[in-house]
Structure 1
């Protein structure tokens, strides 16, 4: 019977410490305070880590059909007045996106960038624009070949004077709003193509004087989600000497962001390649800023997930237990060090 009791005692994982190790010391109090501060800090860190979310990315074939693609635009043209700027959208079949809801505003800007007027665009039809539109070679051909077909009436003359006065005052234009286009490949561009050809020639005296310098404040294809980076936001392209056409080739990736506690957010992310074509001496095309987009057949699903409670308990136990063990070792080392110092002082006194 005694043998069994002795065997059970040997299994005790919490043996009683010797009497001299149970003494409360000042060094032990300091180590205890430091240990509690460390454990409290690590506990808060682990709690914040547990409550935070992380994302998991999944890919699948895009099965969406019959939906529209929202294009959010916010751009500034510091060298062109609003009267000469037009917005045009066209899909891969050549059809103009004029039958969809459009919400585009143009803000007149002073030389200092202050707003001095607004204009709302009800649709995207370019004035006197042919249905047979070519993206690279638009209807602004050599005005000398067509000028005899145009009539320079009083309205056109007034337009020329108004625009020249605005350009002399350094007016710019900010274009912002949302285009809802069909969910197929296409392009939209901002240019002076909406002007009468003869009027455009009278204003600029040639395509090389059309300065399409621009700042892209925001360009996106849907609502933003946590962590998204739109590569064109903050883009600044200022032309000093030569004019030309900017083309941004955009690859759109359909994306779904799945929150833990909210509804699924359908949106899009994209990559972009930029190309600039300077105006040549006998070039028939007029400068513009094109955004040519295509959609990826793959959709990306980003899911928010949270770590399990058992995972949190496991990490917390390891952190707190490790800190307690480390402070205990530190306390023993400090006690032995102080004890050795005191013994050496005692010996030196008696010697």
Structure 2
């Protein structure tokens, strides 16, 4: 222990270096102890009977709002046709700017209109179409449905009293050159389904959905097509209706780099009326668990897309020379087919325990001091051995030398 008792410059230098190393490593360990890490795991999604909210904002620069219809269908058989609740349609001029005072926020459904008209004792004619159970066609839509049920084309709205009252012809003329922005939220079942953004309105007959495309395909010099720009498309959970949870979920997504949605900013372009855009989405449930015990349920998705020129018909040849047959003829529009993944991704916030930090700090201090002590002992022993070896050797040898005495 002689090397410990003797004060040397080398020992002082090693002590300073060891103290600096201990301080640096302890500081790094402290920051690591305070850092919040995220552990990701994958489990089976056991949720049942839940609903999803589809948050969308899409612009169609060459489809007027009166032609644009939003429908939702899913594998359970539930169909939502021509959705208007929680949906805003904004008319756009030819330059893409909103038309003043043109936001359509129609919250009155068909049943409300029917009840309002029945209170006045009104019973409209179906003009030869298949009459509904009530025997009356009180709206233009009901007349169109009666025509579809009969197998007729609905192409003369000017001769229909209900359509004249609703201003169908005026809408055609006023909005013929306009576009439409559709934005809002749609509630859907958490099962496989699809969202249709298509021209005209769909009518369900004999378990099939038929679309009234006459106004869209009318040869009046207005070339409508489904060129579109997806500003935003996201799947949200019920937790995101809570402002605090929605903000927390957004921050956690940004932290993990998953805040952006795959279809945000996507554009689909065409110059053909008979053109269909299809997007295939895989929706994955995602859960965040924070250190303070808060839980936020949200969703993320992946996307692929497919485009098809309907003018080519059910059969066509691919660029590679392969013959392709389509099982369905298809209709123009933008279709979002979503599928629910059976897995749940969990992101749990974690932090090192204080015991781990204390143990690591003790290990750092003990290890650095031990290594410094070994180095100091080795240097002290080497220096001492060199001094002993130098003391036994004679610096000057005796004898005679040749030379001249001055």
Query: Does TM, normalized by the shorter one, top 0.5?
Result: yes
User: SS at 2:361's partner residue?
Assistant: helix
Provide the C-alpha distance between the structure 2 equivalents of 1:235 and 1:296, rounded to a whole number of angstroms: 24
Check whether the contact 1:204–1:210 (CA below 8 A) recurs between aligned residues. Answer: no
In structure 2, the CA distance between the partners of 1:293 and 1:163, relative to structure 1 (3 Å rule), is same
* Structure 2 residue runs without a partner (length 5+): 111-139, 202-210, 241-245, 315-328, 381-406
Partner of 1:163 in structure 2? 175
Aligned residue for 1:279? 310
Residue in 1 that maps onto 2:300 = 269
- Of the three residues 46, 51, 54, the one matched with 1:71 is 54
Match of 2:107?
122
Report how far residue 290 of structure 1 moved: 0.9
8 A contact 2:3–2:376 mirrored in 1: no
Deviation at 1:216, TM superposition (A): 3.9
Aligned partner of 2:31 among 34, 45, 57: 45
Q: In the aligned structure 1, how far is the partner of 2:377 from the partner of 2:338?
A: 69
Aligned-pair distance for 1:28? Answer: 7.0
User: 1:189, 1:289 within 8 Å by CA — same for their partners in 2?
Assistant: yes
Larger radius of gyration: 2
Q: Secondary structure at the match of 2:226?
A: coil
Deviation at 1:37, TM superposition (A): 6.5
Aligned residue for 1:280, secondary structure, equals: helix
* Aligned with residue 54 of structure 1, among 26, 29, 38: 38
Does residue 1:236 correspond to 2:261, yes or no? no
TM-score (norm 2): 0.58
Distance 1:147 1:237 in 2: 32
Tell me which residue corresponds to 1:213.
228
Query: By how many angstroms is 1:91 displaced?
Result: 2.2
When the two chains are superposed, the root-mean-square deviation of aligned CA atoms in Å is 4.7
Question: For residues 110-189 of structure 1, what are the structure 2 equivalents within 5 Å?
Answer: 115-117=98-100, 118-122=103-107, 128=141, 146=153, 150-151=157-158, 155-166=167-178, 172-189=179-196
Structure 1 alignment gaps of length 5 or more: 1-14, 133-138, 167-171, 336-351
The one of 311, 321, 346 equivalent to 2:356 is: 311
TM-score, normalised by the number of residues in structure 1: 0.65
1:200 aligns with 2:216: yes
Residue in structure 2 matched with residue 6 of structure 1 by the alignment: none
Distance 1:313 1:34, change over 3 A: closer
